[in-house]
Amino acid sequence: MKSLYTLVVFACFSLSLLAQSNMLSTNPVAEQVMLGNYNPADYMPTQVIDQPADIVSHILQGVSPDSLHAWLEVLNDFHTRNTGSDTSSATTGIGAARRWVYSKFQQFSSENEGRLLPSYLQFDRNICGMGQHRNVFAVLPGTDGNLDDMILIEAHLDSRCESVCDVDCQAHGMEDNGSGSALVIELARVMSRLALKRTVVFMCTIGEEQGLYGADAFAKYAKNKGIKIRAVLNNDIVGGIICGETSSPPSCPGLNHVDSTQVRLFSAGSINSPHKQLARFIKLEYLEELEDLVSVPMLLTIMSAEDRTGRGGDHIPFRQQGYPAMRFTSANEHGNANTSDPDYHDRQHTTTDILGVDTDGDQVIDSFFVDFNYLSRNAVINGVAAAMAAIGPKTPDFETTKDDQLLHVNIDDPENYGQYRVFFRSLSNEFDSIWTVNSAVASVPKPAGGGWVSVAAVDDNGIESLFSGEKIPTTVNATGEVIEEIPAKPIELFQNRPNPFDEATNIDFMVHDVPVYREAFIAISDLNGNTIKRLPVQLQPGINTVLYTHGYNVTGVYAYSIVVDGKVMDTKRMVFAN
């Protein structure tokens, strides 16, 4: 018995060393709101802004490049926001930085009838020699008590220089990630005036640079408490527009190339991924609600991978806890952050990730590395997508079939919204077709080729829900009887998506019958038959997905095969076009 007891104690102790513990919200009211235990009437503003067009115009008019610039000037002045840096100083270090963010949330709240509830999420973990840490967040309670799934807009507040636990070096961290932090603060300022049906939370995390610890702590805290999170919008490196000498693949075009009109949306998965569907929702909201109103149109690119090659971010711990999550990142980055390379000259993760330079010697920064207009456009995209997710209808489920002529959907919608969108997607990360239908049982022309169907409900205001999962339509005959399609192969490969691809592509395969096997892998080979990569896989019944990162600088046609115990089960071709 004694040895078992020792073992149990030891196991618990080891776990506490490995994970964050004692996660708690310092504001119990904020926690109750996130759980849905509150009276929405207590937080109803005197002047109600709740119509989609008014919400969009409020965010578009309210978000200001000058205001973002001002937040960045303050963040710049803390010298470092390293997670292990000083917490007692009033002017430098992470403690001063997060108390300032908290004070801004308090200020926005008092300017808006006390509607924004600031809090810390405190947790224990040894990071850079410090044992206790705090994310700072603010809760804007939803106005519809029947909708208890919240939207989270977040960014990591912490910074670093060359050495990840150097707590004294200058780490202004302006691109990474003063830009995202300023965006979160600015949206809290602007959006705290809105009356949104669902609760929206604005958060600046800590410990990202050492291992995504602050986001992981919040995701686990939410999971443990039973807090429902509908969508996580992570902003990490969202203000820079200049390409460095290096950049993590998929890279930007070359040194000093400028791109101020594109932002990348990273998320996990390919087929039937709630994270990719969230990224597609954000893009659709931009196209429907904003594109016609803005002076500088933006390109939102839905990326194949969850993050850049070899990199990660705060959206990942949320995905791991089962919450739909994605990341915004600038098209152009200054560095691959490999600071151990002696030839590394770029700004990310160095003391030179600064706000800008003084070009005329008057001691005033006049040339900036963060583009405030670009950052402002990204803030508006975030805010509008989050607001539409916060006011939109519930996501319906559905069944789908197809015959020779038509694609049919049968939408299960207890709310009876009455209008729906039907989405069809084949080879890319984007939809090929979107239809609007006026009945829960509807048919649209059958697209050519195979692909994936999903749906959304549309409310009286014309706002769609988040998108459902994706399904393959079952084949039926003219009278609606299911035609059994006998699978040609026990394991079959799908066409990779996207194809052609740039740096990363998803390879999906369907396992109809799981065989007894020792080893399975996807083999990538050139057309001379030389294998250039083997990706080990586990065979699960249904659809399996593997992300293939090319990292092999030769464009052209490649073959990919699924091989089980030495036997090639299926082969297809794909095109790498950098």
Residues of the shown chain interacting with Zn ion in the complex, contacts defined by CB under 5 A: 176-177, 236
C-beta of 355 vs 455, nearer to Zn ion: 355
Contact by Cβ (8 Å): 425, 470: yes
Bond from prior residue into 445 cis (ω within 30 degrees of 0) = no
Separation CA 560–CA 546 (nearest Å) = 12
Least separation in angstroms between residue 37's CB and Zn ion is 34
Q: How far is the CB of 307 from Zn ion (least distance, A)?
A: 10
In degrees, to the nearest 5, what angle opens at C-alpha 250 toward C-alphas 247 and 253? 65
Q: What 3-state DSSP class applies to 561?
A: strand
**Nearer to Zn ion among residue 243 and residue 422 (C-beta):** 243
Choose between 36 and 173: whose C-beta lies nearer to Zn ion.
173
Please answer whether residues 527 and 559 qualify as being in contact, where contact means their C-beta atoms are separated by less than 8 angstroms.
yes
Rounded CA-CA distance 134/211 in Å is: 15
Tell the smallest beta-carbon distance from residue 92 to Zn ion (Å): 20
- Least separation in angstroms between CB 282 and Zn ion: 19
SS3 content of the chain, % helix, strand, coil (to 5): 25, 30, 45
C-beta closer to Zn ion: residue 176 or 371: 176
CB of 231 to Zn ion, least distance (A): 20
In the complex, least distance from residue 279 CB atom to Zn ion, rounded to whole angstroms: 18
Output 81 or 104, the one with its CB closest to Zn ion.
81
Burial class (CB within 10 angstroms; exposed 0-12, middle 13-18, buried 19+) of 157: buried
CA atoms within 13 A on the CB side of 234: 30
The answer to whether the Cα torsion of 325, 331, 334, 340 is positive or negative is: positive
Decide: 282 and 385 in contact? Cβ < 8 Å: yes
If the CB atoms of residues 202 and 509 are measured against Zn ion, the closer one turns out to be 202
Helix (H) or strand (E) holding 266: strand 262-266
In 3D, which of 188, 482, 205, 456 has the Cα closest to residue 318? 205
CB of 173 to Zn ion, least distance (A): 8
Residue with tokens 């030891």: 10
Least distance (Å) between residue 514 CB and Zn ion: 39
* C-beta of 236 vs 470, nearer to Zn ion: 236
In whole angstroms, how close is the CB of 180 to Zn ion at the nearest point?
7
* Closer residue to Zn ion in complex, CB, 160/220: 160
Nearest Cα to Cα of residue 138 among 181, 109, 171: 109
Cβ closest to Zn ion, residue 175 vs residue 503: 175
